[in-house]
Amino acid sequence: MNQKEQFVTQIAPLVLPGKLTGRRVLIVSTQQSDADVKAVQSDLQLAGATVTGQVTVEDTFVKPDNNGPLLDLASTTLNTNAIAGLPTNSNGVETSTALLAAALMDHTPTVSRQSQQEILAAYKSAGYIDYDTVPSAPAEAVVVLAGLPYTDQDASNENQNTLTMVTGFDNAGPIVLGASSTAGSGNVVSAVRSEASLSKTVSTVDNDNTLQGVLAVTLALNEQVVYGHAGHYGLASSATAALPKPQQS
């Protein structure tokens, strides 16, 4: 552990308690970022948050060939679980993200527990998401942990679909997006920071694979849910600071 990590380890117990007391937070991760979940969850809980659950979005969710199957699954699921306010278009990722966000987060009207379980089970059975247990309650805010951008032959569409997913969760409530860097074509953190409207509503952290980045995620969420402010943190030149300025909750 280097000097910077030692410092973060020492200050986290001093600055985090009380920052998210009573707040209900969902963690959504991609397959590439699953290793970062435990540390983020620990800091969220240290801040007083109730982590309602953790859902992994599989790579299959953003594959362009699955656009049709995602639309079909959303349509089939909605036949037995009527949910208002979902997009009506031909984008499977957008529609499915909105459906999943309605099941996982606060939604008007409220999605019943039975509908939540059926929706999540349908997407898990189809191989689009994974989770150990059904989230305990709807979340009021979400942390999305994204991996590095895709680099295969479908990378452009996959990276755009990842951004679409982030946008869908942004539409559902306060959000912090984390990744390990801003490197690579199609990087989702870079995309958010360069997009005029998203950069004002989605907070980003570009070093969530470090202790400093993990701390930044929780403090950025505090800014979102308590103060309604989005910020951009980390090590890249597009970040405004390494960490949010601590505020009194």
Q: Tens of pLDDT along 128-148?
A: 999 999 999 999 999 999 989
User: Where do the domains of the chain lie, and which CATH numbers do they carry?
Assistant: 3-68+132-233 (3.40.50.2300)
Higher pLDDT, 76 or 246: 76
Q: Is the pLDDT of residue 246 over 70?
A: no
User: Which residues face 233 on adjacent strands?
Assistant: 205, 241
**What DSSP letter does each residue of 193-214 carry, written as one string?**
HHSTTGGGTEEEES-TTSHHHH
Question: Is 0.75 topped by the overall pTM?
Answer: yes
Give percent of the chain above pLDDT 90. 85
What is the largest distance, in Å, between two alpha-carbon atoms of the chain? 56
Q: Is the pLDDT of residue 45 over 70?
A: yes
Residues 197-221 have pLDDT tens digits of 999 999 999 999 999 999 999 999 9
- Going by C-beta distance under 8 Å and a sequence separation of 6 or more, which residues neighbour residue 51? 25, 26, 27, 41, 44, 45
Q: What is the edge-to-edge ordering of all strands in the sheet holding 232-233?
A: 129-130, 50-57, 24-30, 141-145, 175-178, 202-205, 232-233
Residues 68-77 have pLDDT tens digits of 999 999 999 9
> Helix, strand, or coil here: 106?
coil
Residue 249 has a pLDDT of 46
Give the residue ranges of DSSP H helices in the chain. Answer: 3-15, 37-46, 67-80, 92-104, 113-125, 155-172, 188-194, 211-222
Q: Is the pLDDT of residue 97 over 60?
A: yes
